Amino acid sequence: MRRRAVGRLRGGLATWLRGLLLFAALAGCGEVKPPPPPDEIVRRSLEAMAALPGFAFSITRSGGPAFIDAGETISFSRAEGIYSAPDSAQAAVRVVVPGLVAEISVIAIGDRYWETNLLTREWVEVPPDQAFNPAALFDAAHGLPAILLDDLRTVALAEADRPFELEEVPGVEFYLVVADLDTRDLHPLSFTLIGPEVARVQLYVEPGTFLLHRLTITEPAAPNEEPSVWEVDFWDFGETAEITPP
């Protein structure tokens, strides 16, 4: 009886030790790797975005006003649409005028651009450099991907005691890269809405794919005004749509 009990004890101990070793091996396999350097995260993210055939986007402004007319009566609020590489976009642009929130539709294809009249809702073709043109803004060679690659300064990974997440993308923990952005090149591309001062940016980059899900641009505040904050979200990565003239 005693020998059998000792044998069972030894057998149980051996099983427990094997289990402990297996757990340790599995834990070692699941060890979290440190993130790449922030400059590499930015580079790989912008390369991934530039290689996409298309995506959906939204641009939301909060804080200080961003006027799109010389009389400073029409202020940009939000745009949402689709981009198809290399040079086409379609979007609905929400603007604020005194006592009214209105929407303008825009279409950009190559060097041609159309938008709806704020009052009549009729389509009008205008020079592409005289309006807010999302196709130019997301152009891989000269738009946001190229500007962020060339004009970011003091690039670093944000530190926190919890993972960086986005409510719109549950279950994903992002790299959060923070940097200063010289917006002088972005200023004309954004129809002078953003810049030309140095702004603070945040890039939410998905590990593995290195896709950029959110870009936040915070401009310095003018005296007695709130800072303008631009939140640019991306989704439907790789999706395209046929964009045709109105």
Residue 105 lies in a domain: yes
Residue 97 lies in a domain: yes
Where residue 214 sits, what CATH number does that domain have?
Answer: 2.50.20.20
Residue 2 lies in a domain: no
Residue 14 lies in a domain: no
Given this model, what pLDDT does residue 32 score?
Answer: 60
Residue 32 lies in a domain: no
**Bridge partners for 175 per DSSP:** 205
Residue 102 lies in a domain: yes
Total count of domains within the chain: 1
Mean pLDDT by 10 residues, the chain (246 residues): 42 42 43 85 96 97 89 94 97 93 96 94 93 94 95 93 88 96 96 95 97 97 88 97 96
Residue 16 lies in a domain: no
pTM: 0.84
Given this model, what pLDDT does residue 161 score?
Answer: 66
Residue 70, domain extent: 38-235
